[in-house]
Amino acid sequence: MSVLTQTVDAAYIHIPFCKKICHYCAFNKYFYDGQPVDRYLIGLNNEMRLYEINKSQPLDTIYVGGGTPSCLNMEELDILLNSIHQHLPLDEKTEFTFEINPGELSLEKCALLYDAGVNRISMGVQTFNDSLLRKIGRNHRQQHIYQSIEWLRQVGFTNISIDLIFRLPGQTIEDFDESLDKALDLDLPHYSLYSLIIENQTVFQQLMREGKLPLPSEDVDADMFELAIKRLEENAIHQYEVSNFAKEGYQSRHNIKYWQYKPYYGFGAGAHGFVDETRYYNHGPVHHYLNKTEQDEKPIINTTPLSQNEQMEEYLFLALRTNQGFRLSAFQVKFKVSALDLFGDFFDLQNQRGLLMIDADRVFLTQRGLFLADTVFRDLIGWLSNKGGNE
């Protein structure tokens, strides 16, 4: 990756610290207390500097995620934002997203972010039910959600997104509908909704093994998702990707780059990037990350050049997550081969199930296909190798 052959106009920055670890979370994260946060921010500054990104062409998107970036104090946030401005070119057109936890904001933090050019906020709400928030290990309550929205709007933020999770332990359809009511009453331009997944090495996985995790059934899970799609659509908030819904013009440009198979830089412990058809992964443990950055070395632990088959399957997997799907002509231009020749049987199979459509040049999932996307993708991954495709 020393000499780029691609134009990269997106960057993801990972802040791996949290004031509390949620029971469902499997991201690369560490308790904030006792961590070398100051050293980490210096390391992050060094890593971004090492990429020597051309300052003459502003990035289209920057996304700061975690962990919980908002757990940083004012001084730490200021250091992080200054590093971003020093090493990543951006202007007023750059979509600059910052993830926050409602329980960790203040009016001063909101103002600092806004004044530093952050123009999009992604807030981890998960549910408006205080009892459920306690059960899943969140450190905020409903009142913090409303206070945070008030502060964000007070300083000037308009592009605000919230995450909701359904199929939580003990959650009912009625409870989820009440959370949807409260979410929609906020009149936000973007919402992300996820069904709870039990990840390895989480509190919930252990509780499930012990038979102590009363999850709603798969049928209730499906009913919750169907209800969410219906309620959001009624409010002119349209599903544009399996889990993401937005008013017109408020789709996440950064996440769309992932789904359109665009390259991006990844900075921070455990971050990964995608450049020149190669995925690279940074050291996850903070001290391993610092060992590299403090020696002025990129903290990359692994690079994975993707085979042609892997690239083509990933391209379809990501594109079909969106309601736009992909164009056969674009696939032909990118890979110099016909998607119909390689995946025609797969398309026919999903079409017979009512999950996929081909309309002239466009291939996309139906509404039911987006609803059952995991089933489609299970069939897709490995399709070429299973069919004896050439590497």
Which token pair is 4?
């780029």
Listed range (111-120, 209-218, 336-345) with the worst mean pLDDT: 209-218
> What are the phi and psi torsion angles at 213 (to 5°)?
-125, 95
- In the chain, beta strands by DSSP E: 10-15, 17-18, 30-31, 61-66, 95-100, 120-126, 160-166, 190-195, 238-241, 244-246, 265-267, 272-275, 278-282, 300-305, 326-327, 356-359, 362-365
Rounded percentage of the chain residues whose pLDDT exceeds 70:
97
Question: What is the reported pLDDT for 5?
Answer: 63
Residue-wise pLDDT tens digits, 330-370: 999 999 999 999 999 999 999 999 999 999 999 999 999 99
Question: What is the reported pLDDT for 124?
Answer: 96
Q: Which residues contact 107 (CB under 8 A, 6 or more apart)?
A: 151, 154, 155
- pLDDT category of residue 387 using cuts at 50, 70 and 90: low
Residue 118 has pLDDT above 90, yes or no: yes
Give the three-state DSSP class for 274: strand
Residue 2 has pLDDT above 60, yes or no: no
Structural domains of the chain ordered from first start: 10-259 (3.20.20.70), 308-386 (1.10.10.920)
- By the 10 Å C-beta count (0-12 exposed, 13-18 middle, 19+ buried), 331 is classed as buried
Which token pair is 39?
């050293």
